[in-house]
């Protein structure tokens, strides 16, 4: 029988019989490897264990310890869940079930929504199927054969998917009586699905189209071992405890109302104060770095949005209105007004760079299904700025923004990661301009000394961008800051400056945000701190409490002096037990309680109690103000 030679990751060569599979290779290396093998890689492509190896192929055996294992386990567990659902709910129609960042999901068309009890039943059935060690096997069908098969099974969604495929053949995976359309690869059997948990139920439109049927989506997660699953579930419980939607209600920061409209935030006094603190901080930091504060209108003529390319490339995310027969677009971005400011007069090379900063409120049409508290809304305010400079100034300006981001993230206590997002399929501008812009961002990133990833095809439609993803207390990633390099809009809006030689030349524009959407950043802050804001950010920094009514006159004096000193303070002079008032203040996460009893009245002092229950020595009001001021400065 003829032999083939395959190359292993360590560079060695292994001889096998013609027709050998990845599993055969694993067996030839060792029985232990064969037991632990879950998939393979042939010439860099993931494949099932039953995939046949060719002469000269480079082959790698994938085990549960391989980096690729987690996605494989999660994808196969989604199929396991679909099999369990079909066994418990035979009338359910299956759609799609991919692995995602923290687990997997599968969408089903069912007569009635799934309940939490249903989730428990499905999970129990999955464990039963996993214990049965049902093999997963790949089968190839012609396109027409697959359509007939799923049509006979009543799986209309699978039929639609196959009909949309431009392929003569499709691959299906069978596990017991369940069969599913899938490219694969998959685990060799359900026995390898051993550490999973179904986590939630949600509604999801078929193919994300609000005009299509609403499906039931079951989310779950899976890991290669139970310890990792338990650690993840613990983090999930902590995330629920920190959920900004719950804490926002408890602290009375903001609300939403169906009467007002989905995705539109109503800021209550304490939430509006938190915003004001952030916005004042932003203005100060931008002025320190040579930015000019500007302000543009909320609506601009449709023709401007057509000229910019937004109408063609971003129209589905915009709102439009008509006034006196003229169509206007409600701004989803602030860049157009900033370019009009630039064009309002002739610019010289001596004027550049110009840095325009606006806390600009924008509106974007987000689908109802993706709205999520403050993290995804339809109306929000960006700390938006546009830097218009000469091409030779571009490198320094990008580095300046990176430095700005680093300074601000340090103040807020966030570490972060960076990505370079390149040209998307839907874009405007020349290949040359995109290459210049991408190279400028890449060069600045390389010089920064920080590692970064390449995110292919995820740039803005007018230019590539650097995305900065901060990491919170639970090690979750949040997209906030972004730096976009744009040669295209200056061309479309005919932006020019008079160069040193007297000729008119074209500037380049940098679009950037530091915190991003203020609403989203506040949501992240709430969850990062679990509502326990540092003193400089706390909407209410302290609460004056009396022990009895006897101290109210003195307490009012203290309250007034603290207000006069700029401390954000409230008071509670109710005739309630001190312990009750302290517990309420702690639930409101107020940093300090200023307790006043007979002793404080007698000595003209205040006893400050921190929200964790620790006490400071009694001190005069002036001393207290000085102490609080030092704490605020220590954060900033």
Question: Which residues are identified as catalytic?
Answer: 335, 364, 382, 384, 386, 465, 511
Give DSSP secondary structure letters for 437-458.
HHHHHHHHHHHHT--EEEETT-
Rounded to whole angstroms, the Cα distance separating 218 from 110 reads: 12
Q: Name beta bridge partners: 593.
A: 543, 609
| Of 414, 403, 393, nearest in space to 450 by CA | 403
- Which spans in 472-570 are helix H? 488-492, 518-529, 552-564
70 backbone dihedrals φ, ψ, rounded to 5°: -60, -45
Q: At what angle do helices 621-635 and 552-564 cross, to 10 degrees?
A: 40
Can you tell me the distance from the alpha carbon of 381 to that of 581, in angstroms, rounded to the nearest whole number? 36
Cβ–Cβ < 8 Å for 237, 120 = no
If you search the block for the tokens 């190359």, which residue do you land on?
7
Q: 210: cis peptide before it, omega within 30°?
A: no
- Helical axes 69-88 vs 116-131, angle rounded to 10°: 110
**Centroid of chain to Cα 374:** 12
Q: For residues 356 and 333, what is the distance between their CA atoms, to the nearest angstrom?
A: 14
Q: What angle is formed at CA 235 by the lines to CA 234 and CA 239, rounded to 5 degrees?
A: 120
Beta carbons of 372 and 416 less than 8 angstroms apart:
no
3-class DSSP assignment, residue 584: helix
What the block records as the tokens of 184 is 């694969």
């Amino acid at each position: 029988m003829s032999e083939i030679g395959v190359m292993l990751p360590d560079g060695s060569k292994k001889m096998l019989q013609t027709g050998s599979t990845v599993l055969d290779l694993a067996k030839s290396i060792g029985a232990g490897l064969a037991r632990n093998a879950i998939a393979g890689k042939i010439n860099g492509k993931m494949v099932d264990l039953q995939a046949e190896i060719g002469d000269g192929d480079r082959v790698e055996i994938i085990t549960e310890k391989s980096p690729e294992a987690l996605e494989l386990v999660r994808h196969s567990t989604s199929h396991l869940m679909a099999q369990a659902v079909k066994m418990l709910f035979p009338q359910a129609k299956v759609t799609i079930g991919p692995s995602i960042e923290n687990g997997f999901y599968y969408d089903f068309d069912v007569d009635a929504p799934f309940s939490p009890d249903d989730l428990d039943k499905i999970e129990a059935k999955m464990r039963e199927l996993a214990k049965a060690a049902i093999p997963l096997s790949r089968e190839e069908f012609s396109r027409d054969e697959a359509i007939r098969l799923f049509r006979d099974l009543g799986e209309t969604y699978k039929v639609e998917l196959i009909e949309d495929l431009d392929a003569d053949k499709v691959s299906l995976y069978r596990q017991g009586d369940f069969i599913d359309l899938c490219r694969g690869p998959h685990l060799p059997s359900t026995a390898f699905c051993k550490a999973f948990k179904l986590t939630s139920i949600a509604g999801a439109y078929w193919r994300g189209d609000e005009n299509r049927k609403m499906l039931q989506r079951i989310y779950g997660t899976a890991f290669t071992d139970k310890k990792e699953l338990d650690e993840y579930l613990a983090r999930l419980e902590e995330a629920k405890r920190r959920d900004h939607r719950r804490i926002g209600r408890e602290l009375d920061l903001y609300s939403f109302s169906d009467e007002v409209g989905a995705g539109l935030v109503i800021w209550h006094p304490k939430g509006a104060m938190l915003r004001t603190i952030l916005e004042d901080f932003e203005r100060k930091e931008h002025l320190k770095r040579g930015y000019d504060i500007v302000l543009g209108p909320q609506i601009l003529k449709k023709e401007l949005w057509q000229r910019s390319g937004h109408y063609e490339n971003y129209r589905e995310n915009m709102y439009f209105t008509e006034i006196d027969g003229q169509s206007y677009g409600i701004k989803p971005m602030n860049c157009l007004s900033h370019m009009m400011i630039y064009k309002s007069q002739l610019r010289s090379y001596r004027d550049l760079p110009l840095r325009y900063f606006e806390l600009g409120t924008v509106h974007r049409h987000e689908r109802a299904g993706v709205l999520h508290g403050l993290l995804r809304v339809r109306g929000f305010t960006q700390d938006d700025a546009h830097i218009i400079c000469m091409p030779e100034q571009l490198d320094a300006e990008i580095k300046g923004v990176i430095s700005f981001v680093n300074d601000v993230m340090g103040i807020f206590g966030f570490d972060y990661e960076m990505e370079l997002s390149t040209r998307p399929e839907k874009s405007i501008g020349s290949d040359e301009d995109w290459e210049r812009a991408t190279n400028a961002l890449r060069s600045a990133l390389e010089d920064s000394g920080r590692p970064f990833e390449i995110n292919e095809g995820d740039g803005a439609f007018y230019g590539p961008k650097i995305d900065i993803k901060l990491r919170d207390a639970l090690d979750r990633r949040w997209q906030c800051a972004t730096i976009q390099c744009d040669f295209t809009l200056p061309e479309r809006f005919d932006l020019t400056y008079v160069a040193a030689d007297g000729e008119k030349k074209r500037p380049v524009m940098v679009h950037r945000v530091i915190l991003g959407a203020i609403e989203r950043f506040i949501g992240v802050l709430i969850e990062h701190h679990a509502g326990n804001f540092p003193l400089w950010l706390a909407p209410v920094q302290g609460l004056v409490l009396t022990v009895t009514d006897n101290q109210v006159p003195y307490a009012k004096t203290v309250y007034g002096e603290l207000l006069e000193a700029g401390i954000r303070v409230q008071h509670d002079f109710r005739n309630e037990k001190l312990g009750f008032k302290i517990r309420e203040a702690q639930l409101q996460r107020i940093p300090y309680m200023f307790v006043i009893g007979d002793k404080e009245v007698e000595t003209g002092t205040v006893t400050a109690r921190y929200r964790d229950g620790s006490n400071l020595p009694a001190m005069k009001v002036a001393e207290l103000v000085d102490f609080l001021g030092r704490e605020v400065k220590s954060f900033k």
